[in-house]
Amino acid sequence: MEHNINKVKMLEFPQHGDERGHLVIVEGNKDIPFEIKRAFYIYGSDADVVRGQHANRESEFVLINVAGKSKVRVKDGEGNEAIFCLNRPHTGIYLPTMVWKDMYDFSSDSVLLVLASTHYTPNEYIRDYDDFVKEIKGATG
């Protein structure tokens, strides 16, 4: 079975800039592959903080550093990982369900906008890495 980590991809949003400045539009099911049910943003995280550290059974996300920089590491639970730098307000990363993610290396001016396909439901989060590996093995193996 193809792992969802292969669905992770960087997204480029068109910039509608003019002499007044930049405007970036993100529409659900158009610019990103899901309907947006939730938005939240993370700022004020120190450079040595690691956030995320979970996988989601149901939620898909798009992460956009609307200011500053951060990095996202995704893992498939089978030993593969990939690292992406988020450092442009018109670039996002699409994260499908069932990938482990860590956000880290936040710049002091980082504002990380997250768009989600679901409302918040704590029990669709997998917060223990070994549990994630078990669920991946169960699905693929």
> Interface with ligand TYD by CB under 6 A: which residues?
38, 40, 42, 51-52, 120
Least Å from the CB of residue 22 to ligand TYD: 26
Please identify which of the residues 16, 22, 54, 90 carries the catalytic annotation.
54
Name the residue nearer to ligand TYD (CB basis): 40 or 137: 40
Write out the two tokens for 68: 């500053």
Q: Is 119 a catalytic residue?
A: no
Question: Is residue 101 within 8 Å of 62, Cβ to Cβ?
Answer: no
The least distance separating ligand TYD from the CB of residue 42, rounded to whole angstroms, comes to: 5
Whether residue 99 contacts residue 54, with contact meaning beta carbons closer than 8 Å, is answered with no
How far is it between the farthest Cα atoms of the chain? 55
Report in angstroms the alpha-carbon separations of 138 from 62, 116, 135. Answer: 26, 25, 5
Least Å from the CB of residue 101 to ligand TYD: 8
Residue number, nearest CB to ligand TYD:
51
Which residues are 10's β-sheet partners?
93
Catalytic residue numbers read 54
